[in-house]
Amino acid sequence: MSRVLILGIFIAVALPAAGVPGARLLHQPDISRDRIAFVYGGDLWTAPRSGGPALRLTETPDPESFPKFSPDGKWIAFTRLGDVYVIPCAGGEARRLTWHPANDRVAGWTPDGRHLLLHSDRLRGDLTHFPCLFLLPVEGGTPEPLPLPRATHGSFSPDGERIAYGPNPEVVLWFPWRRYRGGALGYIAIYDLKQKQHEVLPRVAANDVCPMWHGRAIYFASDRDGTMNLFRYDLAAKRTEQLTHYSEWDVRDPSLGPDAIVFENGGLLYTMDLSNHSVRQIPVSLPAEALPTAEASAKWRQALDDVWQAYRENAFRPVLVWDKVKPRYAELMESAADSSDAEYVLNEYLAEASQSHIILIKGDEKNGANPGLLGADFRVEGGYYRIERICRSEDADENKDGGLAAPGLKIDEGNYLIALEGKPIPPGLDLSATFAGLAGKKAKLSINNKPSAAGAWEIEVKLLSNEASIRYADWRRRNRARVAEATNGQVGYIHVMDADDVNAFKKEWSAERGHAAMIIDIRNNVGGGGADEIVDWIGRMPAAVMYDRRGRVPPAGHFLDGPKVMICDEKAVSGGDQLALFFKRAKVGPLVGTRTFGGMIGSGAPHKIAGGWVLFVPEYGFYMHDTGEWSPENLGVEPDYLVPLKPFELSGGHDPQLEKAIELATESLTTYKTKLPDPPPYRPGL
């Protein structure tokens, strides 16, 4: 008997046949009054709430994800390769709403159905508030950010005046990391958009994620007992109760409908009736042509074996459960119809390690011509796009790369975009769509200081392919200016993004060292191996100090005899964790912000996985010989002064963590005692 025939027999046994309920690996579900939507095989499907045959809504080479019904149940918004679309629930043509090169993901709808709620990686405004939730008009346009700190999921109150959201990055949902307990631990807050009031729901040492507002209660998922289950928080009684008690598979992607919650557990879909909290499985059947082929199943099984072997043979400390749980993921993998299904299973399996620095990548790219970017923030006003902010760097060379900050352009904040190459720029379309295919190219823009084509002038600008560097430079510039303004120029400011780039840090340190005190900001630090050298540089003492007849000469070199404050946050990861740890242990100065990420073991070389993936696993641990301790993996570093982010409006438009660092540095200037005592009288040698 041939190998292919044997595989075919195996698959026929392992998978439900066409018309037989209970198909597995259906995920990212949503629910309306009479139907459910879900993703399988990279396509979007719907089925009756009671179960039965599924209807395929999309069939494209690109994977779809995160379907969300409109409040009236007539439309489904979804994501395709990082852009947002809407499609009629009954099927038909999908309409594209976003074109931005950053990833946009549908998170829900406003209760009136007029706007979509997006979670987006778009960089806008203050980088401490990234990523963010945006509102996108359903007819199209440029998304407007909500005045919240970092947020991924969100759910509006029935009147639309308040929103429950997750301020932290929700690591357990986006990383392969179950039972995460580091500084980015998920929790839920409520913000009153009308009254400008903020409330944090009771926090525990676990992840509370996916808030869903129904009536006078907020439902959410939490891994308080090690497995993700559904919970309910009563807003009036201020009491939390657990509703499900799964122990093997997590409750995944719960989503709220008019009277029920739908969720996935072990590749199967379930509903919870909100009137009595009863749970039932939805038996969904798929057409035979949607099920995996023998060839595909063999490839995905090999991918799982490759992942199992790469981690088992190379991980610094392989978890004991690794071999034990593999059979149930192998069973789940038999239902994978395409690479997106297989990748989902691989990540779920990798999450069982409960460790950082596990990264599975494939390098999929967005389709279509990349849009050009202008390095600026806009809002629609008077029927045109008005420039709210032009991002600029202190370094003239960085402004030469393009965008509206390029030197010599007759343009300023408050001006309006009128036309591109003589064609009017419509405000009802995502601005990125206007510049589709223009990344890295020059184009002529008509600009005016009023919302009118009359009197407009023309500029030629080179559009950016990526705004990250100019927005980061602008954020750093504004932080430095804020510190200088608040301290009359006495305190310097440095941001460390990459702990590997020690030379860049030394250069910036030397430029700022002339101040009486220093703020070192490591928020959003992406890691690297130079943390010990950087902290040593910050706290170093000179071998000798120069004096003349008037006394001590201001020190040359790199020594700063003055107060130092470090700002950290939950997005300071790996080498960022270590920067905070070494700074705190060396007692260089106070640590301000929030607990760091807690990813403190290191990745090794890439491992090839069948199907085209590359896997990195944690191959290194860090032992501190002076303390006899390992770096605090899955914990992070606690600040001396805890300063969580608040909605932007409640902080007066300022960065509360930076403001606290300014306060501490300024106070320390009045009490600081030099670390260099006066020397004895000079006695020349004989």
Backbone φ and ψ of 355, nearest 5°: -135, 160
Helix (H) or strand (E) holding 485: helix 468-487
Domains (range + CATH), the chain: 19-289 (2.120.10.60), 290-361 (3.30.750), 376-465 (2.30.42.10), 490-599+634-671 (3.90.226.10)
Which of 163, 157, 123 lies closest to 143 in space, CA to CA? 123
% residues pLDDT > 70 (the chain): 94
- Using one digit for the tens of pLDDT, what is the confidence trace for 189-221? 999 999 999 999 999 999 999 999 999 999 999
CA distances from 596 to 240, 476, 547 (A): 27, 20, 42
User: What backbone torsions phi and psi does residue 421 show, to the nearest 5 degrees?
Assistant: 50, 40
Encoded tokens for 35: 């139907």
pLDDT digits (tens, 9 = 90+) for 396-419: 888 888 999 999 999 999 999 999
% of the chain residues with pLDDT over 90? 81
pTM recorded for the entire structure? 0.92
pLDDT at residue number 9: 27
Q: How far apart (Å, rounded) are the C-alpha atoms in residues 103 and 78?
A: 13
Tell me if residue 503 falls in helix, strand or coil. Answer: helix
Confidence at residue 22, expressed as pLDDT on a 0 to 100 scale: 56
Is the pLDDT assigned to residue 429 strictly greater than 80? yes
C-alpha of 317 from chain center: 27
Strands 144-145 and 154-156: unpaired
The answer, yes or no, to whether residue 2 has pLDDT greater than 90, is no
- The pair of structure tokens assigned to 419 is 């036309």
CB 185 within 8 A of CB 177: no
Decide which of 598 and 686 is more confident.
Answer: 598
Residue with tokens 């790219």: 365
Contacts of 82 (CB under 8 A, 6+ apart): 102, 103, 104, 105, 366
DSSP secondary structure code for residue 554 in this structure:
P
Q: Which tokens in the block code for residue 469?
A: 């560097």
Compute the distance between CA of residue 99 and CA of residue 434 in angstroms, rounded to an integer: 9
Residue whose tokens read 């949503």: 30
Q: What is the pLDDT of residue 6?
A: 30
Average of per-residue pLDDT values in the chain:
91
pLDDT at 156 over 60: yes
pLDDT digits (tens, 9 = 90+) for 366-387: 555 789 999 999 999 999 999 9
Given a cut of 70, whether residue 446 has pLDDT beyond it is yes
pLDDT in tens, 543-558: 788 888 888 776 656 7
- Please, which residues have CB within 8 angstroms of residue 1's CB and are 6 or more apart in sequence? none
A 10 A CB-CB count for 493 gives 26
Structural tokens at position 60: 């494209």
Distances (CA, A) of 520 to 499, 539, 617: 12, 12, 31
The pair phi, psi for residue 537, each rounded to 5°, is -65, -40
Instruction: Give the Cα separation of 12 and 17 in Å (integer).
Output: 7
- Residue 551, pLDDT score: 82
Using 50, 70 and 90 to split pLDDT, how confident is the model at 21? very low
CB-count exposure of residue 514 (10 Å: 0-12, 13-18, 19+): exposed
For the chain, the maximum distance between any two Cα atoms, rounded to a whole number of angstroms, is 103
- Contact partners, residue 635, CB within 8 Å, separation at least 6: 181, 182, 598
Q: What is the pLDDT of residues 525-536, one digit of tens each?
A: 999 999 999 999
CA distance 125 to 117: 18
- pLDDT tens per residue across span 249-279: 999 999 999 999 999 999 999 999 999 999 9
User: Cα dihedral sign for 459, 464, 468, 470?
Assistant: negative
The residue among 57, 62, 50 whose CA lies nearest residue 367 is 62
Which residues contact residue 270 at a Cβ distance below 8 angstroms, ignoring those fewer than 6 apart? 262, 263, 264, 279, 280, 281, 282
Distance CA 41, CA 292 (A): 9
Asked which of 12-16, 247-251, 383-387, 574-578 is least confident by mean pLDDT, the reply is 12-16
pLDDT for residue 126: 67
Length of the chain as a residue count: 686
Give the pLDDT score at 20. 39
Residue 518: CB atoms within 10 Å: 23
Nearest CA to 332 out of 261, 250, 271 is that of 250
| pLDDT over 70 (residue 18) | no
* 267 touches 24 (CB < 8 A): yes
CB atoms within 10 A of CB 382: 11
**Residue pair 262/255 in contact by the 8 Å Cβ criterion:** yes
Identify each DSSP E strand in 167-314 by its residue range. 189-192, 197-200, 208-214, 217-222, 229-234, 239-242, 252-256, 260-265, 268-273, 279-281, 284-285
For residues 410 and 434, what is the distance between their CA atoms, to the nearest angstrom?
21
Query: CA angle 4-7-13, nearest 5°?
Result: 145
Amino acid at 192: D
Q: Evaluate if residue 16 carries a pLDDT over 70.
A: no
Residue 484 structure tokens: 């200088």
Residue 10 pLDDT grade (very low, low, confident, very high; cuts 50, 70, 90): very low
Q: What's the mean pLDDT in 631-641?
A: 96
SS3 state at 247: coil
Q: Give the model confidence (pLDDT) of 30-68 as tens digits.
A: 999 999 999 999 999 999 999 999 999 999 999 999 999
